[in-house]
Amino acid sequence: MECRRCGAQVSDDAAYCSSCGQPTTDGFKQQTASGTEPQTIPRRQIPQAPYAGFWLRLIAYVIDLFLLSVAIDIFILNPLMPRAGISPENPWAMLRSNSRQVLAINLLAIMVEWCYFALLESSRWQGSVGKRLLGLYVVDAEGKRISFARASGRFFAMTIFSTLTVGISDVMGAFTPKKQMLHDMLAKCLVLKRTSLKR
């Protein structure tokens, strides 16, 4: 008997094609009529996803923060702080100031950070520069690339809850079964480690 889907030769009493898994109507009827359980093809064993550990993710985040701090310092703080009446040599003065100019500078810095993480994690890279260097990537619950909207939600959840919980929501990643931090759970994302296995 020939499989209707792939054309492979299948024995007459087989309920499923051994090549593609397509049910064979004749074989299925024969096995059902004889009172035997139709024989199915065993599913392939899918290896467990290599979840990225807490410390590896922390190192990747430190790399990202370093790159962001350099970019923000060069393109935002140095040009704009003098206009806010703050010397670039004393950036800590921004913490004591609540002027509109300082608020605008802080919002601009947050926007740069948001675009950095959201654009890169929703791109083909599927991760920031730090994650890329350490072989990490972000996916949704089904293992697919995340959208810019999901990446944005993940970023703002990370920013808000890390601040509110003083980092405790991030430490969760060391204890959860899938190494998820709180913002990963809220955005329904996973951070995985690249291996030689094809995804």
The pLDDT tens digits of the residues spanning 27-70 come to 444 545 555 554 444 444 434 568 999 999 999 999 999 999 99
Mean pLDDT of the 15-28 span: 57
pLDDT confidence of residue 73: 87
CB neighbour class for 154 (10 Å; exposed up to 12, middle 13-18, buried from 19): buried
pTM over 0.75: no
CA–CA dist 97, 84 (Å, integer): 9
Q: Is 34 strand, coil or helix?
A: coil
Residue 75, pLDDT > 80, answer yes
Residue indicated by tokens 């370093």: 66
Q: Is the pLDDT of residue 171 over 70?
A: yes
Cβ contacts of residue 129 below 8 Å, gap of 6+? 63, 64, 67, 120
Cα–Cα distance, 25 to 4 (Å, whole number)? 10
Are 110 and 155 contacting, i.e. CB atoms less than 8 angstroms apart?
no
